[in-house]
Amino acid sequence: MNLMSSKLSKFICNECQALYHKWVGKCDSCGEWNSIVENMPKSRLINSLELNSLKGDSIPVKRFQTNISEFDYVCGGGIVLGSVILIGGDPGIGKSTLLLQISNTFNKDVIYISGEESIEQIKVRADRMKLELKHLKCAYGTNLEQIMYTLDNSDPGIVMIDSIQTLYDGYSDTTPGSVAQVRACGNKLIQWAKHHGIPLIIISHVNKDGMIAGPKVLEHMVDTVLYFEGNDSLRILRSIKNRFGATNSIGIFEMGDKGLTPVANASKSFLKNRSLIHGSCIFPTVDGTRPLLVEIQSLISNSYLQNPRRAVVGWDVQRLAMICAVLESQCRIMLSGKDIYLNIVGGIRLVEPASDLAVAISLISSWYKIAIPTNCIAFGEIGLSGEIRPVSHVDQRLKEASKLGFMQACIPKGSEFSQQMKIIQFSHIKQIDTWIREQANPN
């Protein structure tokens, strides 16, 4: 090796793509042995970048509406041409089903690359859903070079990859699904989509924590990240990242024999068969720009364990611990030795601090075994000293509740609103405790 080539040469880890100036036996980044190989960069002519001014009118974003109302809403009004959408979710939750339904709405060729299911399996699902799929062109393949060659010799309206973990790039010696393979395959597919201005939808596996598997950099490279959530027949499509719309927007679907059906009145669906006993409170959440009413249920029971259970579904367990500590400190409600079960009905996950007050009311109601009025909602953030702080979107929350027949609301003192309904304003958690105990004898 001559002096010039030795200066240009670098060593790279096949597992995590970490760079080294000399060969080592073990990668310090990922801990793999014998994964460092020499990487000789190819000499190439470099041109300067074109610098542009941001003055003047911007070019309107071109979108394609799929007429699947909830999907278009989560995407910000439809699929942006040339954008890349990453969809993750548990196995069997409906990711491939959604792709077939989107395929049925395009009037140009749809290229569907499957690395998991055979063509016959996809056809069986399409027949069951009674989809015509006139423009769908499906192929089974996992070799990225072969897939890229196919795309270069086609003129599709949209490309779908199911899933990114099954693809492999022959230039990397690692196995399909590894961090290096997912990063390499994802990067090449995204560059192709951006260069040709063709939308790309990528399906991704999730890990045991429900997060998209593989390198986090994949989520940074794409334009939109959507997560499927839910249980039973309801499915929730949540926007975690969206360069062309609001984040944290959600779309509600119902899974049936003919696929995913958008739910017109999501709040009504979540309140169906609602519990009318103690330990229940209705919280109006705002995901993106849409208000949605959900039921929060809690159960407090005696514990026979050294470490009492804290079973939480759809909420942050650390935030529950904080609320319990505030109730013990301010209201003398001793929860430290009790088993606590908290559930957000319908499989939805709440991330708003505004849900603190509804959770606290649910816990206090369960502690005293006193039900709050069935036509009441609650929202507000709770501080460590027990103060109840105002939150945003007050009128949106009240309006949605009023549409469904709710007549009163527990909200933070000092909130600004114009909606006409019975409003009870609280400034401290002690006032909530007193109000709930009064419900045992309202007269």
39-80 pLDDT, tens digit each: 765 555 567 888 988 888 878 888 999 989 999 999 999 999
Which DSSP string corresponds to 53-68? ---SPPPPPPEE--S-
134-178 pLDDT, tens digit each: 999 999 999 999 999 999 999 999 999 998 999 999 887 788 888
- Residue 18 vs residue 273, higher pLDDT: 18
Q: What average pLDDT does this structure show over 91-96?
A: 90
- Residue 230's pLDDT band, with cuts at 50, 70 and 90, is confident
- Residue 7's pLDDT band, with cuts at 50, 70 and 90, is very low
- Asked if 357 contacts 389 with a C-beta cutoff of 8 angstroms, the reply is no
**CATH 3.30.230.10 for domain 268-438:** yes
pTM, to two decimals: 0.77
Question: CA nearest 264: which of 274, 255, 277, 251?
Answer: 251
173-221 pLDDT, tens digit each: 788 888 889 999 999 999 999 999 999 999 998 887 778 877 788 899 9
Which pLDDT belongs to residue 249?
A: 85
- Residue 225 vs residue 206, higher pLDDT: 225
Q: How far from 76 is each of 196, 202, 253, CA to CA, in Å?
A: 22, 18, 17
Q: What average pLDDT does this structure show over 330-357?
A: 92
Question: CA nearest 240: which of 85, 393, 82, 66?
Answer: 85
- Residue 3's pLDDT band, with cuts at 50, 70 and 90, is very low
386-442 pLDDT, tens digit each: 999 999 999 999 999 998 889 999 999 999 998 889 999 999 999 999 999 998 876
Token pair 């973990």 in the structure block, residue:
165
- Looking at 21-167, which runs of residues are DSSP E strands? 36-39, 63-64, 79-80, 84-88, 110-114, 136-140, 158-162
- Residue 5's pLDDT band, with cuts at 50, 70 and 90, is very low
Q: What average pLDDT does this structure show over 329-333?
A: 95
- Residue 4's pLDDT band, with cuts at 50, 70 and 90, is very low
254-308 pLDDT, tens digit each: 988 889 999 878 788 778 777 678 999 999 999 777 889 999 999 999 998 889 9
Which pLDDT belongs to residue 215?
A: 73
Q: Is the pLDDT of residue 328 over 50?
A: yes
Report the Cα 211 to chain-centroid distance in Å: 9
Question: CA nearest 66: which of 87, 80, 86, 83?
Answer: 80
Of the listed ranges 11-15, 184-188, 237-241, 401-405, the least confidently predicted one is: 11-15
- Domain 63-264: homologous superfamily in CATH: P-loop containing nucleotide triphosphate hydrolases (3.40.50.300)
- Asked if 65 contacts 77 with a C-beta cutoff of 8 angstroms, the reply is yes
Give the whole-angstrom CA distance, residue 18 versus residue 31: 11
Q: What average pLDDT does this structure show over 109-114?
A: 96
Which pLDDT belongs to residue 1?
A: 39
Which pLDDT belongs to residue 41?
A: 58
Rounded to whole angstroms, the maximal C-alpha distance in the chain is 95
pLDDT-above-90 percentage for the chain: 60
- Asked if 189 contacts 161 with a C-beta cutoff of 8 angstroms, the reply is yes
